[in-house]
Amino acid sequence: MIESVLSKIKEYYLELLPFNKVLGIDIDRLDYETGDAVTSFEMTKDLVGNSTMGILHGGVTASVIDLTGGLSALISCAKFHRKKPLEVIEKKITSSATIDMRVDYLRPGKGKSFICKSRIIRAGSRIVVSKIDLYNENQSRIATGTATYLIG
C-alpha cells in the first residue's frame, strides 16, 4: 500500500507536471516515515540564468525548492488519509498546493548537477511546512527555503 502511494506520487510528479520535465527533475528518495524527499537534476543550457557566469537561474532554484518541499507535503497528505482508498488519496494529492514560500539565495548557482533535500518541520492535518536545501555536486549549499503547503 505504501509502495502504491509513493508510486502514485512519483508518477504524478514526473508524468503529469509538464514543467517538471522542462527542469529535468528526477526523484531520488521519498521516505514514507519521515516525509523526507530528495530530488536531483542536471545543469543544461536552458536552466542558465546568466550566460556569462553560467549559473543557475534563480527561478529554477525557486522551482526546485517548491516542488521538492511539495513532495514532503504529499507524503504527509498520503499518510494522513492512509485509511482511505487509493483513488481518494490520489485526488487529495492532486488538490494539494503551495500556500507560500521563502527562498534564500546563499551563493551563485554554479555546478553540473544539483541535489535538493526536503524535510518536514511542521505536519498538520491541514497544512505542512517543509524546510528545503539545494546543493551542487560539491555539497556546496546554493539556496535554502521554507514553504507552507495546504493539504487536500
List residues binding a second copy (CB under 8 A). Answer: 16-23, 45-53, 57-60, 62-64, 66-67, 70, 94, 97-108, 121-122, 124, 126-127, 129, 131, 141, 144, 146, 148, 150
46 Rama sector, left if φ>0, alpha if ψ -120 to 50, beta otherwise: alpha
Q: Which three cell numbers stand for residue 90?
A: 490520489
* Minimum distance from residue 25 beta carbon to a second copy (Å): 10
Smallest distance, a second copy to C-beta of residue 120, A: 10
The cell for 76 is: 504527509
When the beta carbons of 17 and 38 are compared against a second copy, the nearer one is: 17
Residue number with CB closer to a second copy (2 or 40) = 40
- Contact, 85 vs 92, CB < 8 A? no
The Cα–Cα gap between 52 and 35 comes to 38
- Smallest distance from the beta carbon of 33 to a second copy, in angstroms? 19
How far apart are CB 28 and a second copy at their closest, in Å? 18
